[in-house]
Each structure stands twice: as structure tokens, then as C-alpha cells.
Amino acid sequence: MKGKPVITRSTENGVLKVSITEQNAAQNLPQVIPVTTTTPRAEKPLLVMIDPGHGGKDPGAIGNEGTYEKHVVLHIARRLQTLLDKQHGIHAVLTRQDDVFIPLYHRVSLAHQHQADLFISIHADGFTNDQVSGASVFALSEHGAGSAMARYLSQSENSADVLYDNDFKTDDQYLKETLFDLDQHETIHRSMNFGTHLAANIVKVHHMHSPHPEQAGFAVLKSPRIPSVLVETSFITNKQEEKLLGEPVFQEKMARALADGINSYFINEKKNNLLT
Ligand SMILES: [Zn+2]
């Protein structure tokens, strides 16, 4: 396209259609290119990629009593997987099953390889002030999205051609960027919505450090198409919360809250025709 692209979207029977037309070309025949269409999936269960933070040589935050973030988050993640797998129509996969190191971008690629519908990274916060406590939920920030685009569109890793293989192929860098931008904006919006559903359920079992989802540039949230959040389940550097994190009862309560949040998000997405 020579001019500025105008993007329009419509949803029909659960199929999202995105059209790109050229601005100021209204008098001419509009060039409508169907770009991303999400085909309704009848049988396939919704796939949730659960990412226990850190692992292996990366212990994450360490509590004063010696509790490792990488261990407690794996316990919560496994419990969440069990709860989700019990439900009809949902399948949950972990990015790591054991105490192993996985690079951050590899966690995002795993979600893409599995064609995940959701990505949830589970952590336990650490801070120098041991009085700080509570859970937090993060989605990707716009700034983080900008750097993600640069990375994806570079040839080194996760090339955009891989992402758009089934839909659309183009050598036009500007069009590629526009498509990426469009996808990521939509995804951030859905991630924030997902975060709101999670926070609403976490607050029933634990107090929140901040009541609303926040935005940050975490690398694991940089998937352009999969709604992704990072949950800090509490502060491992806080004495009471370090104790809680080690307790199976708390781990199960937190996992249940996350499962409820995931369910409530899926129900909402179905209602809005964004899932089939
Ligand atoms: Zn962490």
C-alpha cells in the first residue's frame, strides 16, 4: 500500500475478520484483503499454558527462611494444571515440569507451539522491604509491546512469517508492522481483561498488593497473539507470606482462585464471541 492503511474489524459467528483498506482511496475500488480470520474450532479444547517462573540455575526470589520462588511457584502451577485438566473443554500444559532452567523467550515459543489460548506465568515477588505484601497481576505494557515488535520482526528469532504463515504472506515491512501492532493491541486488551478476572478471584483468597492489573514489559508476556499475564502470588520476602507460600492449603487456594479466574475469563470471551 502506498497510503496509510485503515483497519476495520467485524465479528460474525465467532469469526473475527480484519480488513485493511487504503486511506483516501475511497473513490477507487476499495482493496479489501481479509487478513486474520480465526476459524471456529469445534472439538479442540482450550489450551492454557501455565508457566512456573524461574527454575534450575535461576532460583527467582529467596525468602528469609530460605524458601525458593522457583519451588513454590512450581507447586502452585502443578495444582492449577490438575484443577484445569479436570474440566471439560480445557487442557493445561506446563512450560516446565521440573526444576530446570528455561530461557524467557522459549517459554513464549512453547505457548505458540502448543497454540495456547492463554498464557499465565506464576511467580512470588521479592522486595528489599520485608513489610511489602500481597498479590499482583501484570499484563504487557505498550512500551514492552514496542520492543517485542522489534524483536519479532527481526530475522533472528520468531520471525513474523512464522506467525502469519497461515493467514497472509507479505514482504512489505510496513504492512507486517501494522499487522503485528494490530494483533498486539488486541492481545494486550484481552490480557488486561484476563487480569481483571484473575484479580477478582485472587482477592477472595488473599489480599492484593494492588487491586487492578498493572502493566509492565516482562519478556514472557510478549506474545503478540496469546493473551498473557504474570501473577505475583505474594511476596516471598515477607515473613508471613513466605510461610503461606510453603503451605499446601494456601497453594491450593491460590491455584483454585487462578482456575476460577481463567474460567470466568473464558466464559466472558465466549459471550463476546471471541472464542468458539
Ligand atoms: Zn519471579
Query: At 123, which amino acid appears?
Result: H
Ligand 1 centroid, distance to 151 Cα (angstroms): 22
Ligand 1 centroid, distance to 217 Cα (angstroms): 14
The tens digit of pLDDT for each residue in 21-67 reads 776 655 444 455 555 555 554 578 999 999 999 999 999 999 999 99
Ligand 1 centroid, distance to 61 Cα (angstroms): 6
Q: Which residue has the cell 486474520?
A: 36
Ligand 1 centroid, distance to 214 Cα (angstroms): 15
pLDDT per residue rounded down to tens, the chain (276 residues): 666 667 777 777 767 777 777 766 554 444 555 555 555 545 789 999 999 999 999 999 999 999 999 999 999 999 999 999 999 999 999 999 999 999 998 999 999 999 999 999 999 999 999 999 999 999 999 877 766 666 665 543 344 444 444 455 567 778 778 878 888 899 999 999 999 999 999 999 999 998 899 999 999 998 889 999 999 999 999 999 999 999 999 999 999 999 999 999 999 999 887 775
Ligand 1 centroid, distance to 59 Cα (angstroms): 9
Reading the block at residue 63, the C-alpha cell is 525468602
Ligand 1 centroid, distance to 49 Cα (angstroms): 17
Complete domains list, the chain, with CATH: 1-40 (no CATH), 41-271 (3.40.630.40)
Q: What is the DSSP string of 70-138?
A: HHHHHHHHHHHHHHHHTSTTEEEEES-SSS----HHHHHHHHHHTT-SEEEEEEEE--SSTT---BEEE
Q: Give the pLDDT of residue 179.
A: 79
Ligand 1 centroid, distance to 56 Cα (angstroms): 13
Q: Give the pLDDT of residue 147.
A: 67
